[in-house]
Amino acid sequence: MFEKILIANRGEVAVRIIRTA
């Protein structure tokens, strides 16, 4: 459960960084 949440959070952060850049 925690691992899946961490992976999902990393994916969201990556998408936000890409959109901001």
pLDDT of residue 13: 92
The string of pLDDT tens digits covering residues 1-21 is 788 888 889 999 999 999 998
pLDDT of residue 12: 92
Measured distance CA(21)–CA(6) in Å, rounded: 22
pLDDT of residue 21: 80
SS3 of 1-20: CHHHHHHHHHHHHHHHHHHH
Radius of gyration of the chain (CA): 9
Q: Helix, strand, or coil here: 21?
A: coil
